Structure 1
């Protein structure tokens, strides 16, 4: 498609290679999606010796090597996600993170997961701005400005910025149930904590004059999967938010993750990705206003009353996490993890094809495993759907998955045609 953005996958020998069927970085339009980096020494191919500090440093070194290999720098990163095996290691990982970002700090998500590949103690993932875009031989807007903002109406942290916008997206730091007035967790249980997380997100969006219904993707991290029904009860009081959204029944794409622990021993943490129709300077006003959100469901994949299967905005589609459910029966498919992974990917393929795309358009895949030892079996199924190993990827072990599933997969898809301006 001459004149259109193209998926651009790259690897460098300065960071670990051959650790899975994925690319180190996959760029599309104005973002680079970097695969989650383990603490592997690229020279030896082994996890580095030492404890949590040494491993965290190696993860960030690998991120830095990848970012520099595509002629970018760490300050081009808009979001960092930290996956830690032990909650007692969070402070040490944050200390390393602070050394790599002494001035500007990206949006940040930190969670404690059940397990990581290679029995690592930490894994680090990054999303990078890409001002030059990916139209072949036609730089789009190399001078786009990243806009980082905070508001006192939501919790402030020296480790992160509340909202980092670039081009047509805002990436928000994951919000804990912290009362911004006191800086402490709110009193009460899961309902009160969920409400505070969403109130914090709403305050951040109001601080940048963005409506709540401009959210395109939500990730809910819960400490106890049994709390999900209570979370959903509060969630439905926030979504849909506006009269227009209620009329069309708009809900963002969504992923639910049961983690082992959260910072401050919170019960819930919520992360949001937000559309940004105004864009970031110096995009011309006539080029950036009126881009619409396009939400879509298909009968060929499982549906949910709490989310939309895919939400497109500008040059990206965000897919809700797919469980290994047969869309006809709504039940888990028979078999083990390989069959379950195949069903997750079959559901993703059905959603992607329902919006006129192909799996070659996928730029990022996130895999959540009940048992990290199942990674090799998942890769067997994965290879038949992504034989070229192009998408960037993240794999983590989780405490539990909905429906008792062994695997859950979500994806981000390129959208070369973009979404149209409103009439």
Structure 2
């Protein structure tokens, strides 16, 4: 672990603050923002009004956080929108356009249960050209590179891919046939094929191999469909002969969404390594900076995902369920015991690559019952006593293995992946 591995966490009184998280956790060339609820920071309560009023407050909170660290809305590379009712997306989009009148980031939209019974929650990933590592090379006014291809669905509300520094952020892909603009027919397998084909087309449009993906997030309407999804998924990963030789598969999270746009059954988003960097970074050979995938027997191992995938200055961790790696079964007990096991698994994974929990910049919590969050937070505070990482909490109606909680995370990786930062 590098001595420079310091997360820069900040908070402002102009946006809601929670003890369990920082509003913004910057590391290297990215700023990870906590998901914002439509809370008026002056009152600490949800704003009055309907979906438009709540969406506007979400974006105002994000804007306030960004301004407090010297950034603006156009520095955002990815937006994730969680709505209680998928039918409210049109109203959210109406507000969204006023905050992104020209440039649009990559985007994911999902229906889920939300804390405080909010109608909408929004989070952002932000470019951070100045970086956080002292004397790191190529820090400065890096530019974003956004791209769209007609070989995948195009939307005026998002860019298919936004690259910044050494990562490419891909908009979540619905199973839309770009030739017709409609969801493909044929059921869950056909939809999964189309979603992954769309991602592959987007990457081909920027000359990036499919196996450069470091993290996949799969949103399904019904977890019972995951066997069929996995059957298709296994035909896409590994993709190249090199990846097949080493058995490389990305880190992965699977979430049951309350609903998806256009009546889709599945939606898939991807985070992709970008060895070339973005100007004025020097163009490096794509295989000069390498992906480092790692598994440890001290946490549950899954043939369809790698526990942690590092590239450049970030480590992406697969979602952890409350499974005891010694037995391969869910731990006994309730929400506290399950939260303890999930975070113990995450700790085991990050320590297996010579990092510590203090290196975490973002934590995503998926909980079956939002009423359990007080108990979750009680355990969470023992692992993150300073509440440094940015955080997102959403409610889901079901989790794999019938678990009560699932957590994934992103950690800073100051030492980088070869060629290493010295």
Same fold (TM over 0.5): yes
Among 157, 163, 168, the residue aligned to 2:166:
168
- In the TM superposition, 1:11-26 aligns within 5 A as 11-17=11-17, 19-26=18-25
Query: Are the equivalent residues in 2 in contact too, given 1:324–1:333 (CA < 8 A)?
Result: yes
The 1:197–1:92 alpha-carbon spacing in structure 2 relative to 1, beyond 3 Å, is: same
| CA deviation map 1:264-296 (0-9, x unaligned) | 010000000000001111111359761000000
The 1:352–1:2 alpha-carbon spacing in structure 2 relative to 1, beyond 3 Å, is: closer
Q: CA deviation at 1:97?
A: 1.2
| CA deviation map 1:298-320 (0-9, x unaligned) | 00000001000000000000000
Query: Are the equivalent residues in 1 in contact too, given 2:5–2:359 (CA < 8 A)?
Result: no
Among 318, 337, 350, the residue aligned to 2:335:
337
Moved more, 131-140 or 24-33: 131-140
2:109 aligned partner: 110
2:349 aligned partner: 351
SS at match of 2:71: coil
Query: Are the equivalent residues in 2 in contact too, given 1:37–1:124 (CA < 8 A)?
Result: yes
Find the aligned partners of 1:2 and 1:221 in 2 and give their Cα distance: 35
Q: Is it true that 1:34 corresponds to 2:33 in the alignment?
A: yes
Q: Is it true that 1:121 corresponds to 2:116 in the alignment?
A: no
Find the aligned partners of 2:8 and 2:139 in 1 and give their Cα distance: 17
SS at match of 1:321: strand
Query: Are the equivalent residues in 2 in contact too, given 1:220–1:255 (CA < 8 A)?
Result: yes
| CA deviation map 1:323-347 (0-9, x unaligned) | 0000011100010011101100000
Among 292, 301, 304, the residue aligned to 2:302:
304
**Structure 1: which 5+ runs fail to align?**
none
Per the normalisation by structure 2, the TM-score is 0.97
Moved more, 171-180 or 95-104: 95-104
Among 362, 365, 390, the residue aligned to 2:363:
365
1:401 aligned partner: 399
Q: CA deviation at 1:155?
A: 0.1
1:69 aligned partner: 68
Query: Are the equivalent residues in 2 in contact too, given 1:34–1:127 (CA < 8 A)?
Result: yes
1:7 aligned partner: 7
1:290 aligned partner: 288
Q: CA deviation at 1:421?
A: 3.2
Q: CA deviation at 1:99?
A: 1.4
SS at match of 1:236: helix
SS at match of 1:320: strand
Find the aligned partners of 2:164 and 2:321 in 1 and give their Cα distance: 31
Find the aligned partners of 1:329 and 1:291 in 2 and give their Cα distance: 37
Among 391, 394, 417, the residue aligned to 2:415:
417
- In the TM superposition, 1:1-400 aligns within 5 A as 4=4, 6-17=6-17, 19-113=18-112, 115-136=113-134, 140-286=138-284, 290-400=288-398
SS at match of 1:389: coil
Find the aligned partners of 2:99 and 2:248 in 1 and give their Cα distance: 39
Q: CA deviation at 1:136?
A: 4.1
SS at match of 1:198: helix
Find the aligned partners of 2:3 and 2:338 in 1 and give their Cα distance: 39
| CA deviation map 1:6-63 (0-9, x unaligned) | 210000011011x341000000000000000000000001000011110010000000
Find the aligned partners of 1:249 and 1:340 in 2 and give their Cα distance: 30
Find the aligned partners of 1:67 and 1:264 in 2 and give their Cα distance: 32
The alignment yields a C-alpha RMSD, in angstroms, of 1.5
Query: Are the equivalent residues in 2 in contact too, given 1:253–1:311 (CA < 8 A)?
Result: yes
Query: Are the equivalent residues in 1 in contact too, given 2:129–2:139 (CA < 8 A)?
Result: yes
Query: Are the equivalent residues in 1 in contact too, given 2:138–2:281 (CA < 8 A)?
Result: no
Find the aligned partners of 2:142 and 2:200 in 1 and give their Cα distance: 26
Query: Are the equivalent residues in 2 in contact too, given 1:6–1:136 (CA < 8 A)?
Result: no
SS at match of 2:92: helix
Query: Are the equivalent residues in 1 in contact too, given 2:175–2:267 (CA < 8 A)?
Result: yes
SS at match of 1:83: strand
SS at match of 2:337: helix
Per the normalisation by structure 1, the TM-score is 0.97
Q: CA deviation at 1:158?
A: 0.5
Find the aligned partners of 1:387 and 1:139 in 2 and give their Cα distance: 32
Find the aligned partners of 2:352 and 2:417 in 1 and give their Cα distance: 16
The 1:306–1:361 alpha-carbon spacing in structure 2 relative to 1, beyond 3 Å, is: same
Find the aligned partners of 1:137 and 1:299 in 2 and give their Cα distance: 36
Number of residue pairs matched by the alignment? 420
